[in-house]
Amino acid sequence: MPEMKLDRINLRILEELQKNARITNQDLAERVNLSPSACLSRMRRLEEEGLIGRYLAEVAIDRIASTLKAFVEITLENHRQADFRRFDQAIARQPEVVASYKVSGRFDYLLMVVVPDMNRLRQLSDELIEAEIGIAKFVTVPIIEQTKLFDGYPLREMIAGAGG
């Protein structure tokens, strides 16, 4: 798939949407100095090209329920493609695993888990280890406090760093 050219207007659209995905097309058009129809056309093209993947709401889960968040480092017993696929499929069925990253280094995966309490974290750990999905090592790192929120990607810095 050919890469879409990210001119300064497309970049501004992406930056604004990262700040507020619910912005109206009219307001977005004003912020990026386009007509509403031209802005909508560019947004649709950004979506079609896959530069905008999806729109999500950031839910304040801590205000809804008691939570325990943790990172989990997973090391697999074997490293065949079938082992990774089996693990990925099992993790995809776990709603409490809110993010999963295959990594390089001391372990194979870094998971972010959100559960109501330590008891459920222990149960989830036991379930995953006993699921026969090839886990050799399971290390839990409870999150005490999030000190910086994800606030969007640094688009301008990334483009500048890539020589763009």
For the chain, what are the domain ranges? 8-57, 61-142
* Beta pairing, strands 68-76 & 109-115: antiparallel
Q: Are 43 and 24 in contact (CB under 8 A)?
A: no
Instruction: Give pLDDT tens digits for 100-150.
Output: 999 999 999 999 999 999 999 999 999 999 999 999 999 999 999 999 999
The yes-or-no verdict on residue 49 having pLDDT over 90 is yes
Task: Please state the rounded mean pLDDT for residues 86-106.
Answer: 97
Per-residue pLDDT for 164 more than 90? no
pLDDT grade, residue 3 (50/70/90)? low
Q: How far is CA 142 from CA 6, 42, 69, 72, 115, in A?
A: 39, 42, 6, 8, 11
Handedness of CA 105, 108, 112, 113 (dihedral sign): negative
CA distance 50 to 4: 9
Question: What percent of the chain is predicted at pLDDT more than 70?
Answer: 96
Name the pLDDT band for 160 (thresholds 50, 70, 90). Answer: confident
- Of the two residues 107 and 2, the one the predictor is more confident about is 107
pLDDT band at 10 (very low <50, low <70, confident <90, very high): very high
pLDDT of residue 163: 64
What's residue 1's pLDDT? 42
Report residue 5 CA to chain centroid gap.
24
In this predicted structure, the answer to whether residue 69 has a pLDDT above a threshold of 70 is: yes
CATH number of the structural domain 61-142 = 3.30.70.920
pTM: 0.84
Q: Is CATH 1.10.1200.10 correct for 8-57? A: no
